[in-house]
A and B are shown apart, each in its own frame.
Chain A
Amino acid sequence: MTVIKELTADRLAEQLLAVQEGNQKNTRLDGWFYIQEIRMETLQALRASGKPLPPRVLLHAKLFEAVCRQLPLSIHPGEIFAGTQDDAFARSYALINPDFRVETFSGYCDPMAVYNDITPAPELGITAERIKKVRDFWAQEEFARTLNEAYAPTGLATREAVYFVEQVTGHTIADFQPALAKGLAALAAEAAQKGAGADGESKSFYEAMVIVLNAVMHLAERYADLAGTMAAKEKNLIRRADLERIAATCRKVPRNGAENLFEAMQAFILLWMGMALEQSPNPYAFSVGNLDRILQPYYAKSKGLKNESAIELARHLLALFNVGDRNWAISQNIMVGGRDELGKDLTCDMTFIVLEAFYKSNYPQPALSVKLHSKTPKALHDALEPFFATPGSVTPSFFNDDVLFEVLRRKGIREQDIPQYAIAGCQEPLIMGRESGNTTNSWLNLAKILELTIHGGKSAISGKQIGLDYKQMSLNPEHPLQDMAAFRQAFWKQLDHFLPQMEKAANACTRALALLPVPFLSAFMGGLQTGRDMRDVTVQGTKYNAAGCLIHGLSVAADSFAALQYLHDHEPTHLCDLPQALLKRFQGYDELHAVCLAAPKYGNDDDTVDAFAVNLTHEVSLRVGRLKNPWGNAFLPDWSTPSTHLLYGYWVGATPDGRNARNMLGYGIDPTWGTNRRGLPPRIMSMHKLDYCDFTGGYASHIGLRRSMFKKNAPGSMIQALREYVIAPLFGYAPGAHKGGFYVYLNIDSAEHLRKILKNPRRMVPSGIYIMRIHGTFVNFLDLSPAIQEDIIKRLELDCTCAQGGI
């Protein structure tokens, strides 16, 4: 067993500083390019051998093996563990990066776009010719061609963001627990045994699995050799001991089971690295699950390891998730806390250790989520206090097990699997190691559908015919808004027109991705039991499988229907003018605009408009749920908009709610910015009218709070105030409360403060890092594009989604 008693907290913290320093200097990320080149050369060599190529899954296993054997390795100053995911990431990949522009963002659908990221560096031997050679090779391969063919038929509908589709490489939570406990050698032996009794594709898959598991064991050996060589040359005796410890540990794990916390963390890092290498160049949104539960057995076995040292070890583990010098969101998520199916709380020592590590490090990555339930112990709440009390600190997003368990039941998850749910990236609940959710497979824009309904299928942005015309929707072209019932029917017709198109295109992306099997990841996703790759579209390789649909524009659509109804009931003459007013972006229609803006708005506990939101969420969820992925499983409605409410709003003209053309849509299930005028309680009451169990794919919601809300007379502490006034009524823990929602993230700050920071960042934030949350991820506020910064600020303005601080 690795000797761990010399791992003192002070020494580990010192080492971590060196790691962080090294990260900040790592401004090039070239590993992914080497990986693509190794794969290319391996494939070329196999083809040149004249022998028939092996089945696809075996072929990919061999490519993976070549990467594990040939990729240049290094151990940087301060590192006490071997392994990195830096080599798997292309430089620009991030949910939100500083170059993000609403006007130009087109999604990550071009597999060749990644080659725009790498700049030639002749001093490293990376010449323009070398880059071109690799790019040209992969551009001709089947995956790129097939994916382009999947996008081709979508045309204007995706260009103008009626819907969008993508191949989902990430958003998966591998279950490394068996590998940590038993070691890869045992799993490989099991795979070999199952392969011997299998035939056809299963046989190939098991053979592939043996190859990839052995490849990662070989990667560990290479690290052990490297560490040993470095140790022999190292003059500093303490550092030499570090390197010798790495060498000894990598010879043991992940080949064998881990026996203490240090070994478990080292094994985890190498497993993670293997998974990331297989997914290169885009391993974003791979998530860990409940890290506290995963590591607790090994912490319990770590006799002599002090709590402070365990915290510093956890900080070294968290450093794995910070890729190079970037502070950008890559949606890799870690959870702690929660309960089991009987309601027993599962908080453990590692829960507090992981939380403390997050707080101390305050890295922009990975994201942190905490599972709560009605009996979450006070100690866990108390441990959350510093996150919220410290401006610019990372803060966890919250999940409500009590309601989420019900949602998962409705989704068809077996009772014993439910407590193993984890967040796949931002807020999508999937079962760790058992569910391939393809969560971001499709994206739907209800506001654009509404626009096309009003204008007879013509885009208000481009004027082009995209959807059904008036005749096809059975609407009077002269006065399409005259009959409200007919108009609502037309909206559903327009939606039903696009849903099958979206389904077809999304499935084409999924089929394209099946050309890139992932036997290593599949080994931790149930592949050992099913004998199938998790991307194989012919047979289901994971226990649960679905496709996601992120639905945008709830508040704009609900408010627009309410405004139309209001006009119909009170100002019917205005209805005739409305389509033209919308096309003119309300210019010359100020009176009508005023009426539209004054109509009831979702988020104020007003039944007249909330009823439209209820109807929309239920009906759209039902319709999306009827779509089928290539395995015949349902699409899951996910009412979240990971900053895409800006993007999708950019492609929507003016809407009847008074929102002007190209303005952002509402975030997730939240009210549109600036329309929740009555404070937080009425807003939550509006949301509680929705059936949260409809949101089987998840949903997003943000609450912005002003720090002054907690200034005076808070009952004991900030987290207690948060729990009593926000979490308890929101999640249904308060006596008499509605059943409640299951997700929220918070930003506690103020618009004025953030504007001051932007005005004078050096003085206000000397460290250069001021963490805020966007959707499921942390971001360095200072690193964001102006549009995203403004989105965060707006959602913290007093008349927006904040709890009011008094009149």
Chain B
Amino acid sequence: MSQPAASRRLMVCDIGFTCDIDGPGQRMIIYLKGCNLCCPWCALPETISPQPELLFYANRVSQPEIAIHACPHAAIVMRDGQLIRTRHICDACSGRECLQSKLSAFEWVGNETSVNELVAMAERYRPFFGQQGGITIGGGEPTCQYGSVRRLLSLLKQKHFSTVMETNGTHHRLPELFPDIDLVLIDLKHPDNGVCKAVTRQGNTTVLKNIHTRFQQKRPLRVRIPLVPGFNDDPATLNAFGRVLSGIGRLAVEIIPFHRRGEVKWNALGKVMPFVSRETPAPEAARLAAEHLVRYGLAASTLY
């Protein structure tokens, strides 16, 4: 039976290559657009909206008048000595004349790409993957484009690629994808359902259920905890993480220390990064957090 057109295309934010970060070995990572959460510390805020959008980097502008001139709709203005972009003008714009300027200050993110194109690209880069590398699907939240992602995973597995998915674990049909995923990387933002819901828009009940399901299948799984100062790095919360996760089993857990590298992108989107802490955890803090979880019988480590 032929697939509906919608399940043959994906809204892709970017495609890159990493080594031993987004799964084992050298991998092609497909960052998909669209996320059902809105974590205030998000490092890739341009992947949150499911729609293509324009980023404007005021910090890349050396001649303000040229940037102002690049938009005939007056979306870019100088106010109090600073270049300001009026976001709603861009959202309503179809001409996108600013992109013709080729100024690096303007960046368009979000391109609809067919599943077959992505598989062809994976095939092209297969020699770089070695024995362990392959394709990682991340984002954004891949399950926001569930049908197409399912098809992509299926085709990749048919062609014997190693597949990894980075997911927030909130989709209730996530386990249906598990057979085609060699390694699942599921984020658990907070052990408390209420806090999760209040801060990220979604609770963690489904997340924990999906973690449990994958664990029961005895297939590769790593739970990732973004270590965010003031949100989940206190001993009480770490203890709660330990209790909740060890209740499922001896899980592999990775601590990812919060960083502020995404802030420039929040600004480029015309938004303020909601998470205001200037503090970033020292590598030592991440290591201690991992050690904390090890005491609960978890195989915890730090990613960086």
Contacts and interface: CB of A to CB of B under 8 A. Distances in A.
Given A595-B101, A803-B19, A807-B16, A737 B127 contact: yes
Contacts of B133: 724-725
Contacts of B103: 591, 594, 598
Given A685-B124, A725-B25, A711 B44 contact: no
Interface in A780-800: none
A181 interface: no
B17 A680 contact: yes
Interface stretch (A386-394, A520-528, A728-736): A728-736
A597 interface: yes
Contacts of B43: 807
A714 B20 CA distance: 7
A594 B102 contact: yes
A594 B107 CA distance: 13
Contacts, number: 102
B66 A724 contact: no
Contact of A728 (B44, B127, B132): B127
Given A594-B102, A685-B124, A715 B303 contact: no
Contacts of B26: 681, 724-725, 803
A710 interface: yes
A712 interface: yes
Interface string B35-73: 000000001100000000000000000110010000000
Q: Which 7 residue pairs of A and B lie closest in terms of their CB atoms, listed nearest first?
A: A724-B130, A598-B102, A737-B127, A734-B127, A679-B17, A725-B26, A806-B21
A599 B102 CA distance: 8
Nearest to B18: A806
B17 A597 contact: no
A650 to B, nearest CB: 24
Nearest to A592: B102
Contacts of A805: 18-19, 21
Nearest to A714: B20
Contacts of A679: 16-18
B187 interface: no
Nearest to A705: B19
Given A713-B24, A715-B25, A804 B130 contact: no
A738 interface: yes
Chain B binding surface SS class:
loop
27 contacts: A590-B66, A594-B66, A594-B103, A594-B104, A598-B103, A599-B102, A678-B17, A680-B128, A681-B26, A681-B28, A685-B124, A710-B20, A711-B20, A712-B303, A713-B132, A714-B20, A715-B130, A715-B131, A724-B25, A734-B130, A735-B127, A737-B127, A803-B19, A804-B17, A804-B18, A805-B21, A807-B16
Contact of A597 (B22, B102, B128, B130): B102
Contacts of A590: 62-63, 66
A570 B100 CA distance: 9
B231 interface: no
B292 interface: no
B21 A712 contact: yes
A489 B18 CA distance: 42
A interface bracket (residues with beta carbon within 8 Å of B) = 35 or more
Contacts of A599: 102
Given A595-B101, A725-B133, A729-B127, 5 more contacts: A595-B102, A724-B130, A735-B127, A804-B16, A807-B14
Contacts of B104: 594, 597-598
Nearest to B63: A590
Contacts of B63: 590
Output the residue of B16, B25, B102, B127 with the most chain A CB within 10 A.
B127
A291 interface: no
A708 B304 CA distance: 8
A463 to B, nearest CB: 27
B242 to A, nearest CB: 22
A744 to B, nearest CB: 15
A807 B304 CA distance: 13
Nearest to B131: A715
A594 B63 CA distance: 11
A736 to B, nearest CB: 5
Nearest to A706: B19
Contact of A807 (B28, B44, B128): B44
A709 interface: yes
Nearest to A709: B19
Contact of A734 (B124, B128, B132, B304): B128
A368 to B, nearest CB: 25
Interface in A675-697: 678-682, 684-685
Contacts of B31: 807
A643 to B, nearest CB: 29
B261 to A, nearest CB: 8
B130 A803 contact: no
A736 B17 contact: no
Given A715-B130, A725-B133, A734-B127, A591 B101 contact: yes
Contacts of A724: 25-26, 130-131, 133
Contacts of A591: 66, 101, 103
Interface in A560-602: 570, 590-591, 594-595, 597-599
Interface in A583-629: 590-591, 594-595, 597-599
A803 B101 CA distance: 29
A104 B31 CA distance: 48
Nearest to A732: B127
Contacts of A710: 19-20
Contacts of B127: 728-729, 734-738
A590 B43 CA distance: 31
B25 A806 contact: no
B275 interface: no
Contacts of B16: 678-679, 804, 806-807
Nearest to A598: B102
B147 to A, nearest CB: 26
A599 B131 CA distance: 36
Nearest to B102: A598
Output the residue of A591, A598, A682, A725 with the most chain B CB within 10 A.
A725
Nearest to A658: B102
Contacts of A728: 127, 130
A362 B139 CA distance: 45
B136 to A, nearest CB: 11
A189 B100 CA distance: 78
A728 B28 CA distance: 17
Nearest to A681: B128
B126 A736 contact: yes
Interface in B284-300: none
A595 B124 CA distance: 29
B167 to A, nearest CB: 17
